[in-house]
Amino acid sequence: MSPSVAKEPSYDQPWRPQYHFTPPQNFMNDPNGTVFYKGEYHLFYQYNPEGNVWGHMSWGHGISSDLVHWQNLPVALHEVRGEYMAYSGSAVVDWNNTSGLCKNPDPSDRSCLVAIYTAAYKDRQKQHIAFSNDRGRTWTNYSGNPVADLDAPDFRDPNVFWYEPQRKWVMVAVLADARTLVVLDSPNLKQWTKRSTFGPAGDTTGQWECPDLVELPIEGTNQTRWVLIINRNPGAPTGGTGVRYLIGRFDGAKFSSEVPDAPALWADWGKDFYATNTWKDISPTDGRRVWIGWFSNWQYANAEPTRLWRGAQSIPRTLMLRRYADGLRLVQRPIRELESLRQERLRLANVSLAEVNQKIRETGAKGEVYEFEAELRPGQADEIGLRLRKGKDAQTLVGFDVAHGEVFVDRTLSGDISFSKDFAGRHSAKLEKNATVKLHVFVDRSSIEVFANDGERVLSDRIYPPPGSDGIEVYAKGSGGRIVLLTMWELHSVWK
């Protein structure tokens, strides 16, 4: 029996997430080819079929009808051993068969799926395409590959979309080491013409990876702006990898930024959110732009203390822009489909911290897999928050530092931190001034994601608590803190 169709594990190992996507076994990193087609969300991902560290990069594959419950499929695109590995990229629906690769037996349906990926040769990186005429179950590499080649060692991570105003395909890719975006276009996905470059936009070190160019709505208006998403390695605020973005305009050939290069804008202020990809072809009646990110950091991705599997994806999140005093900013919210996993455990309003902790003890509210929404009023306290995944020798803090106006996650005592000197730490982000702070938090067996003030700031962090670390407690440093509202839900496993 081949590894691609081997019997799947139970998804019940220690630290195995219960509602985040993880591979059945072995190493996973970047999400790839996120596309919606004929009722199915596709999630491809960088995958090593042969081990639990990076190598032999191929495209793993999962599908879902709701972005929450996933079915694993066989490896979609394999490395060609001794020639190239299949690095990151994107996938599109070629609705009108511009490529000539769609061979649908139904004459009224001219569509098929086309994947665009980087073929990483020994000393050069080139863009290949592959196509599927059976809804993504099997894939054929195009005989005319490569379709784009700049004769460069670091030309990678193509993200392709249909640009309706000019009826053409647009590709954004990077010259990673030069921190430069390259914009190309094509009538048919097979021949590409370079149109412009952008960058390095104030970056002086590290690499640009996994670009995306998306048009996002401005909350509360009928306006939109184009957002250029650049995954940065290293150079993120907490060290290592992170997601930078710029806001501006796009004319079909060139992106123009309307924000200063410095200070850089960041999508996530935790340490473990990288290599993002947005879903293509979500129904226009849905109207959302949804993305997902690899839930790790290259500083320690190969050393995380899991064995059978390694690597996870974030929860999917909707994207929009919101106007603040200092300009437009990206905001993220958890997808609404996650609410289907909820079972309410606790609901409290306008109570003291002591009353909350008493109620937690009375109801036995605890666990490894849950979601909560809390609105905190600091009063005279210097800090207010929650101790999560609390055990005899472990806890992870999620809270608000009043003096600095910062929401934070502190995983210094979160459990196993021994596998990397770069793992432990306190990660924070400034918030707009408010009398109260709203925290929407998702806890899984090895992760915490915090959405503060309706997605104004997001912090994503992996944690590795010891067995039995399932306690929950509210706390404050100083007096007068109150809980305006707190609701907690247990979340059902998506793998059972």
Could you tell me which of 317, 293, 453 has the C-alpha nearest to residue 373? 453
By CB atoms closer than 10 A (0-12, 13-18, 19+), residue 466 is middle
Compute CA distances 464 → 77, 157, 372, 390, 394, whole Å.
Answer: 32, 31, 20, 12, 10
- For residue 146, is the peptide bond before it cis, meaning its omega torsion is within 30 degrees of 0? yes
Which residues are CB-contacts of 237 (< 8 A; sequence separation ≥ 6)? 266, 269
Is residue 247 within 8 Å of 328, Cβ to Cβ? yes
Q: Could you tell me whether strands 168-175 and 180-186 are parallel, antiparallel, or unpaired per DSSP bridges? A: antiparallel
Quote the tokens at residue 56. 């032999």
Query: What is the number of residues in the chain?
Result: 496
Which residues are CB-contacts of 313 (< 8 A; sequence separation ≥ 6)? 20, 21, 22, 28, 31, 43, 45, 292, 293, 294, 295
Quote the tokens at residue 193. 């013409």
Question: Cα separation of 217 and 288, whole Å?
Answer: 9
Could you tell me which of 294, 208, 399 has the C-alpha nearest to residue 29? 294
Compute CA distances 341 → 18, 236, 337, 369, whole Å.
Answer: 11, 32, 8, 11
| Helix, strand, coil percent values for the chain (each to nearest 5) | 5, 50, 45
Could you tell me which of 220, 95, 232 has the C-alpha nearest to residue 167? 95
Instruction: Return the active site residues.
Output: 30
Compute CA distances 76 → 5, 58, 114, 141, 281, whole Å.
Answer: 12, 8, 12, 11, 20
Is residue 140 within 8 Å of 128, Cβ to Cβ? no
Could you tell me which of 388, 376, 384, 380 has the C-alpha nearest to residue 349? 376
DSSP for 450-483? Answer: EEETTTTEEEEEE--PPTT--EEEEEEESS--EE
